[in-house]
Amino acid sequence: MIYLDAAATTLQKPPAVRQAMARAMTECANPGRSGHRPAMSAARVVYDCREAAAQFFGLKDPERVVFTMNATHGLNIAIQSLLHRGGHAVITGYEHNSVVRPLEHLAEKGVTYTVARWPLFDRTAACVSVAQALRPDTRCVIVNHVSNVFGSLAPLEEIDALCVQKGIPLIVDASQSAGVLPLDLSRLRAAAFVCMPGHKSLYGPQGTGILLCCKDMELYSVTQGGTGSASLEKRQPGWLPDALESGTLNVPGIAGLREGLRFVAAHREEIRGREEALCRRLARQLGNIPGVACWHHDRLQSGVLSFRLEGADPETVGSRLAQKGICVRCGLHCAPLAHESAGTLPQGTVRVSFSAFNRTADVQALAEAVAKLAKCL
């Protein structure tokens, strides 16, 4: 099998991730609930992961690292924290449904939003579009740092500077960038929340995510319940991380995520270089195949590449590749807004996404399979 769907989840994990999860299953109980050894072991695992995440992303206080089920969970918390009383949001034309659907859900509370659109890889147009979309009642700007469809990089620092100038909080969806691109919160002055999954480029297990709470502000919990603290109080605690972490944490998942963070911290530049090199190589090889169109930029793209084959819908291409043991994702990738912005509706694209465990031979095998498929059409 050749796995090229890391933007959905990294299938291959560092061995230390699996080992840490297995160890937690036998040694860790429920953190914050008791003082016995298994509970304390769990508490250490959880806090170690908070510290590792805070250090990796330049967040001074580990207590501001909140564990979630995934990036969608974190985005819902962030969006509702800033918009539960209503208001207007600006989002980019490359957002995932995990941003669009929560905003649509909040429409009954008077929430509105404007989509800032720009052509792929045009950073200047991006900044102009976001600036033009701002209104007096804008309560937040939401930016997908890297498109999950096209791998295109948003001008995050420039948009952050604009938000600082206007006094508007920024929510960053780092689902495809966390662990690959530099993301230093000491340089993002408007960022209120940064949301990410643990199971993609942080190489943790599925069912894990991180919400970085960067500012002192009112917090809105989407779930309430036991936290192991302030048990006499009927209302949810108002401090972090307890305000946003109700119920039993996924300790084995967090143990694995901690090791994923350590792996990425030790190899981030190498991983980024490998993914971008493989992406460029694939774009060149696909560009030599008649009937293939791909969306690529040498400098403003991470390790995600979309392409289409003339005469075949993406789902058919993906099915044919799967028969050859090549795993890619096809269709709209839960991001129809991105396809609308790029002009790839209604069929979408075939998406290839790399991880630290892919090699040049994987690119070669995919390009050869697409070339053979093109000749059959």
pLDDT at 221: 87
Strand-pairing partners, residue 331, are 349
CATH at 66: 3.40.640.10
Same domain, 56 and 173: yes
- Cα 117 to Cα 362: distance, rounded to the nearest angstrom: 34
- Determine the pLDDT at residue 377: 77
Q: How many helices (H) and strands (E) in the chain?
A: 10, 13
Ranges of residues in the chain whose predicted pLDDT is under 70: none
According to the model, what pLDDT value does residue 253 have?
98
In the numeric block, which tokens belong to residue 134? Answer: 């701002």
Are 292 and 274 found together in one domain? yes
Residue 241, preceding bond cis, omega within 30 degrees? yes
Q: Is 179 left (phi over 0), alpha (psi -120 to 50) or beta?
A: left
Cα(155)–Cα(316) distance, integer angstroms: 34
Q: Are 210 and 196 in contact (CB under 8 A)?
A: yes
H/E run at residue 376: helix 360-376
Tell whether 102 and 22 lie within a shared domain: yes
Residue with token string 């969608």 = 72
Last residue of a domain, one of 262, 284, 308: 262
pLDDT for the residue numbered 284: 98
Same-domain check for residues 65 and 147: yes
Are 197 and 302 in the same domain?
A: no
**Domain check: are 82 and 190 in the same one?**
yes
How many residues are recorded in the chain? Answer: 377
CA 355/CA 261 separation, integer angstroms:
14
Q: Output b/e per residue, 329-342; b: 16+ Cβ within 10 A.
A: bbbbbbbbbbbbbb
CA–CA distance from 216 to each of 59, 74, 160, 219 (Å)? Answer: 13, 17, 17, 9
Q: CA 4, CA 271: separation in Å to the nearest integer? A: 15
Q: What is the DSSP string of 198-246?
A: SSSTT---TT-EEEEE-S------S-----SS-TT-SSPP-STTGGG--
| Residues 367 and 218 grouped into a single domain | no
Is the distance from CB of 179 to CB of 203 less than 8 angstroms?
Answer: yes
Last residue of a domain, one of 262, 288, 316: 262
Phi and psi (nearest 5°) for 249?
-75, 155
- The CATH number assigned to the domain holding 288 equals 3.90.1150.10
Q: Is 360 in contact with 279 (CB distance < 8 Å)?
A: no
Listed in order, strand segments (DSSP E) in the chain are 2-3, 65-68, 87-92, 111-116, 138-144, 170-173, 191-197, 209-213, 292-295, 304-309, 326-327, 329-331, 349-353
Domain identity same for 368 and 287: yes
With beta carbons less than 8 A apart as the criterion, state whether 221 and 236 touch: yes
Residues 54 and 191 reside in one and the same domain:
yes
CB 231 within 8 A of CB 185: no
Q: Quick one: 51 and 156 in the same domain? A: yes
DSSP string, 135-166: -TTEEEEEEESB-TTT-BBP-HHHHHHHHHHH
Choosing from 262, 281, 306, the residue where a domain stops is 262
Our count of domains for the chain comes to 2
Host domain of residue 372 = 2-9+267-376
CA distance 346 to 353: 21
Same domain, 62 and 165: yes
Question: Are 199 and 237 members of one domain?
Answer: yes
